């Protein structure tokens, strides 16, 4: 089969012939129809993450959409979303024509959600959903601040906050294109991520109408510092990524005086049942058009160039490979 294969950590995968996945007990063989390149894939493939150094060569791709080719738990031909631990654990990933996946990581896909749209949402959407619900404990009427709101996690966080009944949703983005994506996702106000932390704090306070109850933060750094300062009493900041850097400064006075929670979240800690439930919720709302991630389809043959664009921050939208 054809696959994007990573030979050297820190470099780009090369599209070439690769052995078929074969069979294993408790595993489903999926014919892949759409697979996104996500930041986690590139973090893992860099060999510098807290997941450790993957054994090379391997096929990257921690998630995808496809059709069951062979399975003990689902009929052949079932459309599915699947997650893999490519580069984190044993086995190859989704950037290939076929992928062998543990049975409990395969979830039947709602027929109303097209393959590429489902792949673009995937685990990025799950992270946004869980950050708002399980970790952020969002209540109807509360005000939500979404950092990195033009990215995949951010677009879903904005739209999901609306689905969950947030009273006001404020988006923080860098580029004009990202601001437009956040508006399309349903943000009530969009704040430009610029200036020093005091200026940003003032703009966030203005846009939120004094304070925010829940912050969804895939960015960290200065944006998280400013967002923490505008948390309401009993506010929750949920960090799920460090797109801007690995460190942020939080004031003890802010944390104590408002009894705020600063929380971490990772999809890696989800049990299969939790992942399935979150995916089902995401796809239910995607079918009615309420959750979406802007994306571009790219042939698997062009995986190397797509990987390079994503790594350079030039993708703009989620790139979804189609074998």
Of the candidate residues 267, 275, 291, 319, the single one contacting ligand NAP (CB under 6 A) = 267
In the DSSP assignment, the letter for residue 1 is -
Binding mask 20-59 for ligand NAP (x = CB under 6 A): ------------------xxx-------------------
Of the candidate residues 31, 62, 92, 124, the single one contacting ligand NAP (CB under 6 A) = 124
Toward ligand NAP, which CB reaches closer, 145 or 153? Answer: 153
User: Within its chain, how far is the Cα of 86 from the centroid?
Assistant: 16
Toward ligand NAP, which CB reaches closer, 6 or 224? Answer: 224
Residue 84 interacts with ligand NAP (CB under 6 A): yes or no: no
DSSP line for 155-183: HHHHHHHHHTT-SEEEEEESSHHHHHHHH
Binding mask 224-243 for ligand NAP (x = CB under 6 A): ----------------xxxx
Instruction: Give the C-alpha separation, 72 to 180, whole Å.
Output: 45
- Among 101-109, 197-205, 261-269, 301-309, the segment contacting ligand NAP (CB under 6 A): 261-269
- Among 57-65, 80-88, 143-151, 227-235, the segment contacting ligand NAP (CB under 6 A): 143-151
Instruction: Give the C-alpha separation, 231 to 59, whole Å.
Output: 42
Instruction: Give the C-alpha separation, 285 to 272, whole Å.
Output: 20
Distances in Å between the Cα of 211 and the Cα atoms of 128, 156, 166, 204, 235 are: 20, 21, 13, 8, 9
Q: What stretch of H or E contains 272?
A: helix 272-287
- Among 53-61, 95-103, 151-159, 184-192, the segment contacting ligand NAP (CB under 6 A): 151-159
Q: Shortest gap between Cβ of 268 and ligand NAP (angstroms)?
A: 7
Instruction: Give the C-alpha separation, 106 to 127, whole Å.
Output: 17
DSSP line for 4-24: EEB-STTS--EEEE-------
Toward ligand NAP, which CB reaches closer, 100 or 158? Answer: 158
Toward ligand NAP, which CB reaches closer, 8 or 175? Answer: 175
Toward ligand NAP, which CB reaches closer, 15 or 153? Answer: 153
Residue 154 interacts with ligand NAP (CB under 6 A): yes or no: yes
In sequence order, which ranges of 141-251 are alpha helices (DSSP H)?
A: 152-163, 176-185, 197-208, 221-229
* Exposure string over 182-212, b if 16+ CB within 10 A, otherwise e: bbebbbbbbbebeeebeebbebbeebbeebb
- CB atoms closer than 10 angstroms to residue 277: 16
Residue 153 interacts with ligand NAP (CB under 6 A): yes or no: yes
Size of the site for ligand NAP (CB under 6 A): 28
Q: What is the largest CA-CA distance in the chain?
A: 59
Of the candidate residues 8, 48, 175, 259, the single one contacting ligand NAP (CB under 6 A) = 175
Of the candidate residues 113, 163, 219, 248, the single one contacting ligand NAP (CB under 6 A) = 219
- Site residues, ligand NAP (CB under 6 A): 38-40, 123-124, 127, 148, 150-154, 173-175, 178, 193, 218-219, 240-244, 265-267, 318
């Amino acid at each position: 089969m054809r696959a994007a294969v990573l030979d050297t950590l820190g470099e780009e995968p090369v599209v070439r012939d690769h052995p078929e996945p074969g069979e294993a007990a408790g595993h489903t063989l999926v014919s892949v129809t759409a697979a996104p390149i996500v930041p986690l894939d590139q973090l893992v493939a860099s060999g510098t993450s807290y997941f450790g150094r993957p054994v090379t060569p391997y096929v990257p791709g921690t998630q995808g959409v496809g059709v069951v080719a062979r399975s003990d738990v689902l009929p052949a031909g079932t459309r599915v979303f699947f997650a893999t631990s490519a580069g984190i654990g044993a086995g190859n990933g989704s950037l290939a024509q076929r992928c062998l996946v543990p049975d409990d990581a395969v979830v039947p896909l709602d027929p109303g959600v097209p393959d590429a749209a489902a792949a673009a949402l995937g685990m990025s959407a799950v992270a946004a959903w869980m950050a708002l619900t399980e970790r952020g404990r969002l209540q109807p009427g509360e005000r939500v601040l979404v950092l990195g709101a033009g990215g995949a996690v951010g677009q879903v966080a904005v739209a999901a906050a609306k689905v969950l009944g947030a009273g006001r949703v404020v988006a923080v983005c860098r580029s004009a294109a990202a601001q437009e994506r956040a508006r399309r996702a349903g943000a009530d106000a969009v704040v430009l991520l610029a200036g020093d932390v005091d200026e940003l704090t003032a703009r966030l306070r203005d846009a939120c109408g004094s304070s925010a109850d829940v912050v969804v933060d895939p960015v960290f750094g200065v944006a998280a510092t400013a967002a923490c300062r505008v948390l309401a009493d009993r506010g929750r900041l949920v960090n799920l990524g460090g797109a801007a850097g690995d460190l942020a400064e939080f004031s003890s006075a802010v944390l104590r005086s408002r009894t705020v929670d600063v929380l971490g979240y990772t999809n890696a800690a989800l049990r299969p049942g939790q992942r399935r439930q979150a995916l089902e919720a995401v796809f239910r709302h995607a079918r009615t058009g309420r959750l979406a991630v802007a994306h571009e389809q790219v042939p698997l043959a062009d995986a190397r160039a797509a990987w390079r664009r994503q790594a350079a921050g030039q993708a703009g939208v989620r790139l979804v490979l189609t074998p």
